[in-house]
Structure 1
Amino acid sequence: MDLGAFSLADRTVMVTGANTGIGQGIALSIGRAGGKVIGVGRSSMQETASRMAEIGAEFVEERADLGSVAEAQAMFARAWSAHGPIDGLVNNAGIIKRVDAVDFTEDDWDSVMDINLKTMFFLSQSIGKQAIAAGRAARVVNIASMLSFQGGIRVASYTASKSGVLGITRLLANEWAARGINVNAVAPGYIETNNTEALRNDPDRSAAILGRIPAGRWGVPSDIGDAAVFLLAPASNYMHGAVIPVDGGWLAR
């Protein structure tokens, strides 16, 4: 099928946190659009690899502890050399700590910020350096959050990190748009993943969440994946520094 301006044929995209949930959904959407995926994470991505193979899409795995900037940068350089050049980067990997603000520890702060914001920036820097040096176009898609716009409760470092993701997305767009590098973000709402299983299994909490979502349903990983494909594809050539909420209308309520 010819996807035209939405095709990722002959493009290689790195996706962090591709082993499950939203990251897996992004990888599969890229595969369906004809792209090759380099999946990055600490744990096995065998399930994602199997699902990619089922749709005839190319998938390679790179292991890295994304809590370490040095390890993440070394992984990117290794992947560029082995599988590149890399046309796109999706900064999806992230963690969350739920603790009352008065009880928050330095580790609760640093462990989240290191992965969600610090490594996100330095991986973006890695593809920016390579693309600019080679005179190549590139795409960066950052995974933001509803908490890029809202405060949340008991998630101080997560809220800070996702607010930072939005700010860095705009900063990099300002610096790199004229260099042919598009930097944008997707902000997921409530998505059916392992991370939200407890919420979905709580009848009262689930009803409260669904009561605010105009679409009346939880999102699925492909909802985020398909939005990411749009930002990776030629269809979004003139988009820089944008954030697309994929939230069933949550923010509009």
Structure 2
Amino acid sequence: MSNKVPEATLVFWAIKIMATTVGETGADYLAVHVGLGTAVTGGMMLVLLLAALAGQLRTRKYVPWIYWLTVVLVSVVGTQITDALTDKLGVSLYASTIAFALALAVVFGLWYRSERTLSIHTINTTRRELFYWAAVLFTFALGTAAGDLATEALGLGFVIGVVVFGALIALVSTLYYVGSNPVLTFWLAYILTRPLGASFGDLLSQSQAYGGVGLGTINTSLLFLTAIAVLVIFASATATANATAARTVSTPASKRASK
């Protein structure tokens, strides 16, 4: 099995941020505007996520459309988990943020204890992949709780939320480029892109009366889903081209070795 997680390129981060935006706006659209409610929306998305995850686990290599479909669905489910705790069970955002941070720490601890690495460059066994997706789920849930805590409970608002979380990601990126631990900086950025994407999604979708642009949840979701689809097609074409080039290079070498 080859590594099943893409390289953390600019395209990777662009899709990741837009996937988090879709997780925020898509969940709101289905639960509120369609009227399905949090429980029904969460149940539907969980079933779809399990189906996508099963497909992802069956593949033997990175397949862009399956991988990113799973990420989008994890984003929606992660959002629904936090919303259910906050809106239905009355759990404070402070408590859920702490709880998800601890849960993520437990996943990382178990992952490292088992595999001695948290690197995304070696997701080449089923066990590592299960740890990876568990971590991804909790990063989305944590990012949702932390983002809502900052923009709503602490009153930062959507614009300041985008600026603050964008600045934090820029800081983490700077730390990476000056030589900080690449695994640590990756996961910090991965967590922070969730509240950034959520704040950006709320900024675009919410009405102007609430400080947003007023595009609405369906328009924002469709806009970003289209952009994600275009980038995934690009990623698929790039992966195919790279695989073809690798085979082209290896074939002459194999012929020389056989002579």
The TM-score with structure 1 as length reference comes to 0.32
Larger radius of gyration: 2
